[in-house]
Structure 1
Amino acid sequence: MASASPPKAARPLTWIDDINFMLGSGYYALNIALTATYVVVRENYRHKPLASQNMLIFGEVNDFESWERYLGFLCGMYGLFRAYKARSRQAAIASLVDYAQIFVAVMALVCSPFLLAYYVIAYLLIYLLFPQPMLPLHERLDKLTPEAVLDDVRTPGCDTTWVIYHYAPYHRECRLVAPVVADLAARYATDRLKFGALDVGEFTKTAQRLGLDLSAVSPSLPALILYDKGEEVARLPYKRGRGGLAGGGWTGKDVVKAFELDMRYTRSLQKAEGKKAQ
């Protein structure tokens, strides 16, 4: 069976939910707290000679406030652009945190190489000691195993359509895109249109059979596969003619269009109503 107790219908996540979830994790809370210590660094170094005073690669940028304005503009613009292009709200928040860290790290180098070393060590310790959070998918999607896929999903003529999220917990994009799938499940899941999650990082043979690369930077993860009547009918990302991948940066809108979820949702409701009428 897919799961001992299927998840209850959940409302779509909001910005507040995503912010609370990320700030509630030790990883992001400590990273933000460490980045905020830049206020102390600024007070201590803005009137002191800088370690970068003789660096000419940036022209006339040779005092603290000039460096701050220059780097603040660059990191701010890149961070906002990456947040705007992000695949999920959590990915947008993570991008802003990343570029804030880059800003602090470069400003630390400008002030003192030793200060940069302290920051690098501190960030590294947080990365090693505190796991990056991932939305608990089992609360919103059916938790699947390879056996459950064979029994419940790939049964020939199965009258339930399945959308299965294939992920590996150590893969950054898998963690950040999980809320997208959770939102789709909240909007479209019915008794005849179900959403499940399969940890291919744990079930590596299944990943090999599906042609999924399990490296931490794999472009084939996360993968979303649509099964209808027991057969795979669509996948994101999908393989192109010469073996390359297309649709690797898929978003919720891409899934709705490629998997025709609006049509399938309406059809599943009609089937349910027809069954009740009988």
Structure 2
Amino acid sequence: MGKKKENKETSIDAVEYYNITMNILFSIISEPYYLFHFLSFFSYFSIRLTTSNLFSAQFTQNLLHRELQAVVAFLTLSVVKMVKEETWDGFIADMLLFAKIFLVGISLVVDFHLALWFMLTFLVIYLFTQQPSYMGLGASTQLTPLQLETLLTEGGTSRFWLVEFRSSFSSSCIRTSRILPELSITFSNKNISFGVVDLGLFPNTAERFGISLGVPDQLPTYILFENAEEISRFPEMHSSTKSSDITKKRLCRHFELDKHLLDYIGGK
């Protein structure tokens, strides 16, 4: 009996890992941001293999030593970031940044022109592509400004609304794009609902809620409404809080989401 249960759990883990692997491969193929980065990194190995016979044995040994150092440093940073980063989006962004730095550094050892080529390639990728944001909504709702205004003026089914104002063009918003959906899965109930407004699509809405699009650290902004009145926001206006300070734990504490959930369970 125990052996059968263990086999079943192993099978579930295998399916889960398979799904994760397929999702990663699909993202690499379907998203230009990931595809161009993958091709750029892969091109180094192609260049390395095709030009290896042009180098002396001493240079090849020195280059291999530098490559191993870069790999060890990259893996160490990966472990550190995996522990510190709360979202996969932020982790991937950091890892791509470190990988680009190490690749340019190794390319400098090979040839200055190769390093210059990679720097130009990464600049083009930065200018013409963007890391995709988390597409899941959890239990939150994608709102247009008109829908939000209707909720705030006419009221809705929920007493509280926690709304995230983000921009699809902001890297800090992309890094934190899965935080609200994941919170909504845990804390959404009949008393509190969660919504998202994309100020990248509706920039004129920002002024209505006292958000300055010219100040990077004001995005994303989270505002809690009670019966159509704003009662709290994070980060607060003129706050020194950075987007990197936004975590699920901090938002949960700031907006007292645990208390709202307990009030709902207690029938308050």
Name the TM-score, length of structure 2 as normaliser.
0.75
Matched, 1:25 2:26: no
Q: Aligned equivalents of 2:152 and 2:136: distance in 1? A: 18
Superposition map of 1:71-220 within 5 A: 71-136=70-135, 140-153=139-152, 159-215=158-214, 218-220=216-218
2:43 maps to what in 1? Answer: 37
1:223 maps to what in 2? Answer: 221
| Cα deviation, residue 259, structure 1 | 1.3
Amino acid at match of 1:26: P
Amino acid at match of 2:218: S
- Aligned residue pairs total 245
1:59 maps to what in 2? Answer: none
2:260 maps to what in 1? Answer: 264
1:16 maps to what in 2? Answer: 20
User: Contact between 2:158 and 2:192, CA under 8 Å: does it hold in 1?
Assistant: no
Amino acid at match of 2:178: P
1:48 maps to what in 2? Answer: 55
Indicate how the Cα distance of structure 1 residues 223 and 94 shifts in structure 2: closer, same or farther if over 3 A, else same. Answer: same
| Cα deviation, residue 122, structure 1 | 3.1
| Cα deviation, residue 221, structure 1 | 1.0
Indicate how the Cα distance of structure 1 residues 218 and 92 shifts in structure 2: closer, same or farther if over 3 A, else same. Answer: same
Indicate how the Cα distance of structure 1 residues 117 and 45 shifts in structure 2: closer, same or farther if over 3 A, else same. Answer: farther
Q: In structure 2, the residue corresponding to 1:197 is in which secondary structure?
A: strand
User: Contact between 2:160 and 2:227, CA under 8 Å: does it hold in 1?
Assistant: yes
Q: Aligned equivalents of 1:194 and 1:232: distance in 2? A: 14
Q: Aligned equivalents of 2:26 and 2:183: distance in 1? A: 18
Q: 2:246 aligns with which of 247, 250, 254?
A: 250
> Equivalent pairs: percent with the same residue?
23
Q: Which moved more, 1:14-23 or 1:62-71?
A: 14-23
Q: Aligned equivalents of 1:126 and 1:16: distance in 2? A: 25
Q: In structure 1, the residue corresponding to 2:189 is in which secondary structure?
A: coil
Q: Aligned equivalents of 2:24 and 2:83: distance in 1? A: 16
Indicate how the Cα distance of structure 1 residues 39 and 159 shifts in structure 2: closer, same or farther if over 3 A, else same. Answer: closer
Q: Aligned equivalents of 2:163 and 2:107: distance in 1? A: 44
User: Contact between 1:83 and 1:96, CA under 8 Å: does it hold in 2?
Assistant: no
Q: Aligned equivalents of 2:96 and 2:53: distance in 1? A: 23
Q: Which moved more, 1:206-215 or 1:72-81?
A: 72-81
Per-residue deviation, residues 243-271 of structure 1 (Å, max 9, x unmatched): 33236411111111111112212333554
User: Which structure is richer in relative contact order (CA contacts within 8 A, separation 6 or more)?
Assistant: 1
Name the TM-score, length of structure 1 as normaliser.
0.73
Q: Aligned equivalents of 1:134 and 1:265: distance in 2? A: 28
Q: Aligned equivalents of 1:131 and 1:244: distance in 2? A: 27
Structure 1 gaps of 5+ residues are 1-13, 54-61
Q: Aligned equivalents of 2:145 and 2:138: distance in 1? A: 19
Q: Which moved more, 1:158-167 or 1:64-73?
A: 64-73
Per-residue deviation, residues 24-47 of structure 1 (Å, max 9, x unmatched): 523113312321333334433597
What root-mean-square deviation, in Å, do the aligned CA atoms of Structure 1 and Structure 2 show?
3.4
Q: Aligned equivalents of 2:53 and 2:251: distance in 1? A: 49
Indicate how the Cα distance of structure 1 residues 87 and 234 shifts in structure 2: closer, same or farther if over 3 A, else same. Answer: farther
| Cα deviation, residue 113, structure 1 | 1.8
Q: Which moved more, 1:36-45 or 1:196-205?
A: 36-45
| Cα deviation, residue 169, structure 1 | 0.7
